[in-house]
Amino acid sequence: GAVVSQHPSWVICKSGTSVKIECRSLDFQATTMFWYRQFPKQSLMLMATSNEGSKATYEQGVEKDKFLINHASLTLSTLTVTSAHPEDSSFYICSASTPGAGYTFGSGTRLTVV
């Protein structure tokens, strides 16, 4: 089946630094990928829709300058958390639509900002 590879699986960074998270579709092309954020014991909140070759579409309340999304190819989308602060600590997950099989999610990235 379809596989979405997400790296890193966890990262600890200092406050004020930036962190890049990669999401790759391994055996299919994904013109659109989605980035979610999940706090402990809560649901997935859509942050933005990543579109290959064009600007990402951000959900209301999500700062586009803080969460930079780049979708440079049909198999790679990246999310960069810029100038990270402790309140940005969360579980970030990407997904891509796979026809007939719903959305395939990456394994997630647990970000801790200290």
Q: Is the four-CA dihedral 93, 85, 67, 83 of positive or negative sign?
A: negative
- In the complex, the smallest distance separating the C-beta of residue 110 from another protein, rounded to whole angstroms, is 9
| Sheet containing 19-25: order of strands | 4-7, 19-25, 76-81, 67-73
Residue 55 interacts with another protein (CB under 8 A): yes or no:
no
Sole window of 17-25, 63-71, 74-82, 99-107 interacting with another protein (rule: CB under 8 A): 99-107
d(CA 69, CA 55): 8
| Conformation bin of residue 83: beta by default, left when phi > 0, alpha when psi is -120 to 50 | left
Sole window of 15-23, 35-43, 63-71, 75-83 interacting with another protein (rule: CB under 8 A): 35-43
Q: Contact with another protein (CB under 8 A): which of 70, 76, 89, 103?
A: 103
Whether residue 112 contacts residue 11, with contact meaning beta carbons closer than 8 Å, is answered with yes
Nearer to another protein, 47 or 84 (CB): 47
Q: Contact with another protein (CB under 8 A): which of 34, 69, 77, 90?
A: 34
Footprint of another protein on this chain (CB under 8 A)? 34, 41-46, 49, 93, 95, 100-108
